[in-house]
Chains A and B, each alone.
Chain A
């Protein structure tokens, strides 16, 4: 790297300085805690002085008959969520952009963000209001009038992949679509005007201008989700099914297993080990995904 180039980049580096310093303080230095995954934490000795125990802390994740189930559920749900969220968010963002009435656009933009603000505990009550066996609205107001027998939702795991997916999408679609919406309204308007002059309709514009221009954003967001592939939202998988044991086949994930398993002992080393494993698996996956993106379209790669 020659001096001239560096000199030109210097102001850019200076701009990044506050952010870099913050990340080092807030994120990088505390990473020292990762070593707890391989240690038995002793308060008196602190993080650095605690004795090493090798991979012992990881064993509890695999000592269960459910180990395969845990990983399959976690990754499976994340994949489905990723696909559905992306499609839904783009569709909503495009629709929002097409709404002509300013009032409808503004009000609906605000309202679709509301579910994002509710905690999963509260959402679990709402879901219960709908699905409760004896007093739930779906059983009482829909199934019974139609002459269908009541369904005991909280004991039948087969319905829950759909319920969880729906709840998750409902909670987060507003938030995701705002990101896409912001990107869409930032596009160069002259492109659309030129297309209109050429006689292209809305549908054509979406296909040949909006979607291609959205590609970098879609790729970025997808790559970021892939990094969290082995994490699951504890609230969604624990609170929303109301910790019902009979649903466990469909609702157990790495995080709920760890929570239930460590409830008794709050073992810092084991908790750290679970987190470390989730991170490292996500990390490897995202590196692979990024490599593929780089092969195909290097400028859209994350790094």
Chain B
């Protein structure tokens, strides 16, 4: 046995040597003539000087011809058949304007995160949207993405103008690593209801402001329609919304320490131990008891909206900057009339609500300047924004008299060659023409909402979880074990809650909270 192992180590060593050599060797031909320069720029950690050198060299290079960058684009269905047509149209704009040639790379939503993680290892993309991936902080931590400060300074004036103070949400350890898309950043928890039933029973969305009001309405509906379920699902985190907290960088139900926004201070508390959390459970347990959920809510099979559109439930809980707008958008999807009502009275904006979709440039990209130039154009050039968000005019969409747009003749969401629903993927949908059922000034309401939003006191702070990753892993497992059971009251809630809290403590939730508090304090002091 010993000899076998010995031989094996030999082979392994030899093999790994081959690997390291081939890995280096194969990169060379892919680089352009200036690969020497580029490599040093990448490998030098404090590469400001090198970066400058690189800047110089690229700007010289681009004088003559355009620089090609690869930008991945998310696909949600089997459309984008006409990718090349749109790509050509983009290049018609970008090559003369900014000297950048763009290649669009279609990637499925489902494999987005996996594929991008691979592409980041070999510089296969030059600019990407970090949505549905790990938090940006993990990519900062693993050196996958590059600092944008200098690039923004030089080529990103338009981006700065668009984002204003919200650009701070992309700052990690002092530098900006990602820029958020232009969006309605704030969020107010709301409930979206079947309008027909509301009208029938004389329910007005204006009468609902919190869980108590909603409970009364729900009971009223149940009485009138005993066969109809009220709430479709128990397994998503929407119930937590009305508590009004800043999760400080953790997502979904995994709230390991956050700020209670109503308190407007920087004290990190354990949300699961707050009174508000208990009140929320009180309501959901009551709903479960009174049979207001669909059958087997824990095993619900589909998204909440499907239950509504198939008339299997009365309402679902969601978010958005304005309950009425949320309902309106859904109305188009469901093909039925909907009302939206608020479950809290304030629009809060937190770092997390801003930074859901960050645009980043990979550290291994060899065309960082060109990527930034293109990104800047996406934020500012409305012709380009229309192109990526909606396709080509008169091919994919036609302009209506009122300024909105609709599918070109004979096309619909299934048959169009350029996906129409993915506009919000791109950096700035607000400079494009809105789609038909919306009003022509639809996107202006988005922008306006940002002015009324109440900012979390920790706005701009981003948590770096590197020191407590083990605790987060353990706590996440605890939440997945107890959360749904507690919310849906599947067992004795009181004792379950007690176990839940004590297991979280064992798993180290206090360490996470301490770490958050320390980082937050340091951030505040610096500010």
Contact = CB atoms under 8 A, between A and B. Distances in A.
Nearest to B145: A43
Given A43-B121, A44-B143, A245-B481, A265 B469 contact: yes
Interface of A: 24, 28-32, 40-46, 48, 59-60, 63-66, 125, 128, 132-135, 152, 154-155, 242-246, 248, 252, 257, 260-268, 270, 287, 291, 303
Contacts of B483: 245
Contact of A64 (B19, B254, B477): B477
A261 B491 contact: no
Given A28-B11, A245-B485, A261 B476 contact: yes
Among A44, A45, A60, find the residue whose CB has the most chain B CB atoms closer than 10 A.
Answer: A44
Given A43-B363, A44-B363, A155 B295 contact: no
A110 B493 CA distance: 49
B329 interface: no
A272 to B, nearest CB: 13
Given A63-B508, A266-B113, A29 B470 contact: no
B506 A245 contact: no
B120 interface: yes
14 contacts: A31-B15, A40-B142, A44-B363, A63-B473, A64-B473, A132-B296, A155-B298, A245-B483, A245-B484, A252-B477, A263-B476, A266-B134, A267-B469, A268-B142
Given A60-B470, A65-B507, A267-B469, 12 more contacts: A63-B470, A242-B298, A246-B490, A252-B477, A257-B477, A260-B477, A264-B134, A264-B135, A265-B465, A266-B134, A270-B473, A303-B4
Contact of B299 (A66, A128, A261): A128
A60 B469 contact: yes
A43 B138 contact: no
Contacts of A41: 142
Contact of A65 (B23, B296, B482, B503): B503
Contacts of B135: 264-265
Contacts of B269: none
B490 A155 contact: yes
B431 interface: no
Among B120, B301, B472, find the residue whose CB has the most chain A CB atoms closer than 10 A.
Answer: B472
Contact of A44 (B113, B364, B470, B472): B364
B299 A43 contact: no
B49 interface: no
B18 interface: yes
B469 A29 contact: no
B477 A266 contact: no
Given A28-B15, A133-B295, A64 B142 contact: no
Leading 5 A-B pairs by shortest Cβ distance: A261-B473, A134-B295, A60-B470, A43-B144, A42-B143
Given A28-B11, A65-B507, A246-B485, A264 B296 contact: no
A60 B471 CA distance: 7
Interface residues of B, number: 55
A155 B491 contact: yes
Nearest to A67: B474
Interface of B: 1, 4, 11-12, 15-16, 18-20, 23, 42-43, 113, 117, 120-121, 133-135, 138, 142-144, 250-251, 254, 295-296, 298-299, 301, 362-364, 465, 469-474, 476-477, 480-485, 490-491, 503, 506-508
B138 A266 contact: yes
A29 B22 CA distance: 11
Given A42-B143, A266-B113, A133 B296 contact: yes
B143 A43 contact: yes
Nearest to A133: B296
A242 B490 CA distance: 16
Contacts of B482: 245
B491 A43 contact: no
A88 B15 CA distance: 41
A71 B3 CA distance: 31
Nearest to B470: A60
A59 B476 contact: no
Nearest to B18: A29
A135 to B, nearest CB: 6
Given A28-B12, A29-B15, A43-B364, A261 B138 contact: no
A64 B474 CA distance: 6
Nearest to B144: A43
Contacts of B133: 266
B295 A29 contact: no
Nearest to A268: B142
Nearest to A243: B480
Given A60-B469, A242-B298, A32 B477 contact: no
Nearest to A249: B481
A154 B135 CA distance: 32
Contact of A63 (B23, B301, B465, B507): B507
Contacts of B11: 24, 28
A288 to B, nearest CB: 11
Contacts of A242: 298-299
A261 B507 CA distance: 12
Contacts of B484: 244-246
Contacts of B508: 63
Contacts of A261: 472-474, 476-477
Given A24-B15, A42-B143, A43-B364, A265 B134 contact: yes
A264 B254 contact: yes
A173 B77 CA distance: 36
A31 B12 contact: yes
A270 B113 contact: no
B56 to A, nearest CB: 21
B305 to A, nearest CB: 20
A134 B291 CA distance: 12
Nearest to B474: A64
Given A28-B11, A128-B299, A270-B469, A248 B481 contact: yes
B15 to A, nearest CB: 5
B120 A43 contact: yes
A60 B472 CA distance: 9
Contacts of A266: 113, 117, 133-134, 138
Contacts of A155: 298, 485, 490-491
Contact of B472 (A32, A59, A264, A291): A264
A265 B465 CA distance: 9
Nearest to B503: A65
Nearest to A49: B43
A84 B429 CA distance: 58
A59 B144 CA distance: 24
Contacts of B295: 132-135
B19 A260 contact: no
Contacts of B473: 60, 63-64, 257, 260-262, 264, 270
Contacts of A262: 473
